[in-house]
A and B are shown apart, each in its own frame.
Chain A
Amino acid sequence: MATALVLIPLLPMLSAALLMIFGRRLPQQLVAIIGAGAVALSALCVLSIAQPFLATHQALQVQLWSWMQIGDFSPNFSFYVDGLTLVMMSIITGVGFLIHLYSTEFMQQDDSFSRYFAYLNLFIAAMLILVMADNLLLLYLGWEGVGLCSYLLVGFWYRDPANGAAARKAFIVTRVGDTAMALGLLLLYTELGTLEIQPLMTAANIHWVEGDGLAIVATALLLGGALGKSAQIPLHTWLPDAMAGPTPVSALIHAATMVTAGVYLIARTHELFLLAPPTLIAVALIGLLTALMAAFSALVQQDIKRILAYSTISQIGYMFLGLGVGAWGASVFHLMTHAFFKALLFLAAGAVIHCLHHEHNIFRMGGLRTRLPVVFWSFLIGAAALAALPLTSGFFSKDAILLAAWQAPGIGPLLWLGGLLGALLTAFYSFRLVFIVFFGELQTSPDKQPGWRMALPLALLCLLSLAGGWIGIPVREVFPPQEEQHAGFLVHVISIGIPLLGVWLAYAVYISKQISFQDAAASPRGRRWSQLWLAGWRFDDFYSWLLVRPYQTIARFLRNEPVDRFYDFIAAISLQFNHLLSNLQNGRLRWYATSMIMGLILMLILGMEGAT
């Protein structure tokens, strides 16, 4: 069992190393087999440890080696696997494998095929280390590794400088959060004397009472890290640009890895967050705000991947909302169902793009329902789950979060109302996408059909998106027990009805054309708002004004090393002195005679002074 556990991250890691070193010399098929096969084997290993785990619910621990030991600071390379980890590992390897399989066809024409799979494998390995780490420092290793892989993959097509810019943005924005998180680790170690997660939770509960100032600061710093990786306001701006990478990479970043890291971090350290109620309220409010703002942005985008990107930000916002109201299990559940349907949506979108000569603009698509039936059904199922239509997986998980929000003390009902508004918007924009792309007139006709390696992952993800709501996740031992949720009948009806209303609205606007927003959108105010949403609430402009340009200005100002002016000054003075002295040695006898006599007189005077 321990071997299997170690193999889980090791296999993709080894495969990544192998492909990096020898990849370009191997035939493409072998690269595909190694790349996808490593993740498949890793997924099988997860299955093999899941079976005994589900029987006993005993957390597993494996220590590989002592990382370092300086005084009391002794983090290890060791893994800790409980129900939460198992859920994450299943998602990462399971959905990750489907994305790998899909990629073997999607990237067939690319000449950097092996580099792509090397990065993809490394991504999976880093994410697995992140979730399996038993101490926060090892978690941080995975955390930064995930950031690196996103940088490498977003900028995978490096010849376009725009892709490079998007990649750097992804890395640097998340690094801001990571640095906050690193400070959080410093604080936790300094105060509690360990970074091992389980002992740390115990120590926190012993040393801190609820509402302790240090607990609030520490959780706020960890939250900073989570906001960066999970693309929440104010560190969300990298995600819409991150679609510059190949589409399967977007699926990986948005579903199986990366953005779920922040949710995982908070769920993993929830005992710490429970000691800091103000931070929890901030988590809920940031989540709700992000969910709504991103949903508005998604309403007006025209790029198919950008719509999905904003929908991810919005859905992670729901998970944060859930975390903030203490619905840990519901959030992790939503994380899982979201991984299914978001991977499905991105892979389906990738298939559309693949079959339409890299077309991204939804208004140049249309009528694809009959031309790409497999993709259409996949997309429809994905959108239904995203919109949380009844009986899809998204419905169960989102409903659980909304109910928990409703029952949260204090601002709960307000959070619930906000969440409902978000649900309405979500249903509207997802079906706007479906109706525009797959219904109406044919705009661009597809020149190929997805092959089995693309169709099979889509089919499996369809199944999971539909039925995933019935999967029970084994996290009961991980999180504190929650009271049975009793909400009124009306609350249930509303949460079922709202998404349906959104779908109907989209139908009325884009298919039957009963309702039209044309006039509203054309009015000056309407245009201003839609422009604002299109530009993602102008966060980028704001940061450019606040941070980027000042940094560049300072750099430009300092470029020529102002400190050197001081040394130049000393040099100039020395030079002057040199001129002065060398002028004394002018070779004129008269001058020498005069100065000798003057010197003699001076010495005489001084000598007489001394004598008296």
Chain B
Amino acid sequence: MMLWLLIVLLLVGGAFAWLAERRDPNAPRWISLGAIALALFYFLASIANFSSGQLQLVPDASQASTWLMHYRVDWIPRFGIHFELALDGLSLVMVALTLILGGVAVVSSWDEIDYRPGFFHANLLWTLAGVLGVFMALDLFLFFVFWEVMLVPMYLLIAIWGHEQKAYAAMKFFLFTQISGLLMLLAILSLAYMHHSATGEASFSYFDLLGTRTTGTAGFWIMLGFFIAFTVKLPAFPFHTWLPDAHTQAPTAGSVILAGILLKTGAYGLIRFTLPLFPEQSAAFAPVAMTLGITGIIYGAVLAFAQTDFKRLVAYSSVSHMGFVILGIYAWNSLALQGAVMQMLAHGLSTAALFMTAGALQHRLHTRDMRLMGGLWNDMPRMAATAMFFAIASLGLPGMGNFIAEFLVLLGLFEVSPLAAALAALGLISAAIYALIMMQRTFLGSDAETDRQLFDYGPREMSTMAVMMIGLLWLGIYPQAVFDLTQPVLDSLSSFVADAGARP
């Protein structure tokens, strides 16, 4: 498989969608859906090839043979910058999630966007292309470029197609991610510089930089640069405040990919870069990171409970769920890491579905204020039943992926710190509180109005919801399929960290 083809497909698809806008306002939708479907099909076909044994492991990617595919050409040889993409089990599941939720995002805003649908879909696809690049780039400079590529179109999505306070929210989103991105750039440059001084070779390659020994305060600050960049994106307390605004103001498709995929780039960055590059510093920093994680879990859950805006509630629930991801990553053992990866997938599906519900509600009621809702089960039983499904997935009911994720994180964390696990487990209770109150305020209770003419989900929405429901149940009942893909990667990363940690 040509990895770059996936990215190019989406970039070109976006451009075509933009151009097609003038012919027919519906064309961009079909083009986007087609581009994503094509990319997904191409991707899955290649994976299927792989599992049947035809695809060879790429031996020269590195000494560790967890890489399935690799692509590398020179880009700026003078600075040792390459266009280097690679795919392993971890990237694989994230790419699959990105393409699936990309399709969901297009479908979910099918009849929402009337203003310049072509440019809207172009931005949507370009963001997705940036995300794919982030999940596959193994040259740190290239990684940074993709990091920015996914940011700008997202900014436009919020700023142009957002709701009442779109300008404020878009600016806040941009500033938070841009400033943290700047920190990451500084950290990348410093790391490359240190590598250059140590070996005399200029390189931004992940494999080269992995061996760079960073020690002392300099190493700590570089690590912190990466950490902040990724945890702003995640987001972790106290860098999360852009998220509720951005989520609330973004159009439905924007919220879906923001919550479903973009947040995961932060978690991915922590797993792929921060810990392997800085094992000693990260180990020392783990108590702080875990404290932030626990604070985020509880803080997010309490604030979710306090909201009256449906989308804000879901946004804060994301803050809470991402706390588990940080805990899983910094507990850094197989169980907890698998839990963190599973949380990325399960949260992606369940939250995307809840944001889609929010979009559907707004489309019909022209409000997100839950004080004006209530009793909607009566009018829209299908929407209510699906919302109930994702609400209970979100509160971590066994049988769904979210439970597997949270349980594994707690299990791994318990070995490291029983106290931290006990505190984090409080999140299970508070999640139940906000998820159930959300259902009560919107779909249950008495009818707020009686003369509503509401149309329930049609086949288009129901089939999208069905995809996500089946996905969550599958992750909950047979998660091993994912674990088998990610286990070698996580094992090699953790053994690498353990080796580096053992080094004097």
Contact = CB atoms under 8 A, between A and B. Distances in A.
Interface of A: 20, 24, 65-71, 73, 77, 137, 140-141, 144-145, 148, 151, 155, 158-161, 164-165, 167-168, 171-172, 175-176, 178-179, 182-183, 186-187, 189-190, 551, 554-556, 558-559, 561, 563-564, 566-567
Contacts of A141: 398-399
Given A67-B478, A190-B414, A556-B306, 15 more contacts: A67-B477, A71-B334, A71-B335, A137-B398, A141-B399, A144-B403, A148-B397, A158-B375, A164-B445, A168-B436, A182-B407, A183-B422, A190-B411, A555-B305, A559-B306
A559 B307 contact: yes
B431 to A, nearest CB: 9
B310 interface: no
A551 B411 CA distance: 27
B149 interface: no
Contacts of A145: 397-399
Of B398, B422, B487, most buried by chain A (CB within 10 Å of CB) is B398
14 contacts: A67-B479, A144-B397, A148-B397, A158-B445, A159-B446, A159-B447, A161-B446, A168-B437, A171-B436, A172-B433, A179-B429, A189-B411, A555-B302, A566-B238
B408 A158 contact: no
Nearest to B176: A567
A552 B305 CA distance: 9
Contacts of B422: 183
B432 A175 contact: yes
A161 B299 CA distance: 27
Contacts of A24: 381
Contacts of A189: 411, 414
Most A Cβ at <10 Å: residue of B237, B299, B432, B433: B432
B421 A161 contact: no
B132 to A, nearest CB: 27
Given A141-B399, A558-B303, A186 B436 contact: no
Contact of A70 (B244, B335, B426): B335
A70 B408 contact: yes
Given A159-B446, A164-B444, A175 B429 contact: yes
B429 A65 contact: no
B268 interface: no
B432 A68 contact: no
Contacts of A561: 241, 244, 303
Contacts of A161: 440, 444-446
Interface string B361-388: 0000000000000010110010001000
Contact of B241 (A70, A558, A563): A563
Nearest to A559: B306
A172 B432 CA distance: 6
A187 B414 contact: yes
B302 A554 contact: yes
A67 B399 contact: no
A559 B418 CA distance: 30
B330 interface: no
B425 A144 contact: no
Contacts of A65: 478
Interface in B283-306: 299, 302-303, 305-306
Q: Of residues B375, B411, B478, B487, which shows the largest number of chain A Cβ atoms within 10 Å of its Cβ?
A: B411
A113 to B, nearest CB: 13
B411 A559 contact: no
B480 interface: yes
B338 interface: yes
B436 A68 contact: no
Contacts of A187: 414, 418
B397 A190 contact: no
Closest 9 CB pairs of A and B: A555-B306, A141-B398, A559-B306, A158-B444, A186-B414, A564-B241, A168-B436, A175-B432, A161-B445
B375 A159 contact: yes
Interface in B396-445: 397-399, 403-404, 407-408, 410-411, 414-415, 418, 421-422, 425-426, 428-429, 432-433, 436-437, 440, 443-445
Contacts of A178: 428
B480 A179 contact: no
A605 B118 CA distance: 60
A172 to B, nearest CB: 5
A348 to B, nearest CB: 30
A182 B414 CA distance: 11
Interface size class of B (residues with CB under 8 A): 35 or more
A148 B392 CA distance: 8
A148 to B, nearest CB: 6
A563 B306 contact: no
B483 interface: yes
Of residues A24, A165, A167, A175, which shows the largest number of chain B Cβ atoms within 10 Å of its Cβ?
A: A175
A70 B334 CA distance: 7
B429 A176 contact: yes
A151 B306 CA distance: 22
B128 to A, nearest CB: 29
B437 A190 contact: no
Given A65-B478, A189-B411, A561-B303, A183 B440 contact: no
A472 to B, nearest CB: 35
A559 B303 contact: yes
A559 B375 CA distance: 25
Contacts of B392: 148
Nearest to B440: A164
Which of A167, A176, A187, A564 has the most CB atoms of chain B within a 10 A radius of its CB? A564
Contacts of B378: 159
Nearest to A163: B444
A171 B432 contact: yes
A450 B305 CA distance: 45
Contacts of A179: 425-426, 428-429
Nearest to B426: A179
Nearest to B242: A567
Nearest to A568: B241
A159 B338 CA distance: 41
Nearest to A189: B411
Contacts of A158: 375, 377, 443-445
Nearest to A141: B398
A182 B480 contact: no
Contacts of B306: 555-556, 558-559
Interface-central residue, B303, B385, B403, B426, by most chain A CB under 10 Å: B303
A24 B381 CA distance: 10
Contacts of A566: 238
Contact of A186 (B375, B377, B421, B479): B421
A483 B414 CA distance: 41
Nearest to A564: B241
B485 to A, nearest CB: 13
A186 B414 CA distance: 7
A137 B408 CA distance: 11
Given A172-B433, A179-B428, A567-B241, A551 B410 contact: no
Contacts of B305: 551, 555
Nearest to A126: B399
B316 to A, nearest CB: 9
A186 B238 CA distance: 29
A556 B305 CA distance: 9
B446 A160 contact: yes
Interface in B327-344: 334-335, 338
Nearest to A168: B436
Contacts of A70: 334-335, 338, 408, 483, 487
A68 B483 contact: yes
B385 A140 contact: no
Nearest to B333: A71
A554 B298 CA distance: 12
A164 B436 CA distance: 9
A170 to B, nearest CB: 10
Nearest to A557: B306
Contacts of B398: 137, 140-141, 144-145
B483 to A, nearest CB: 6
B445 A67 contact: no
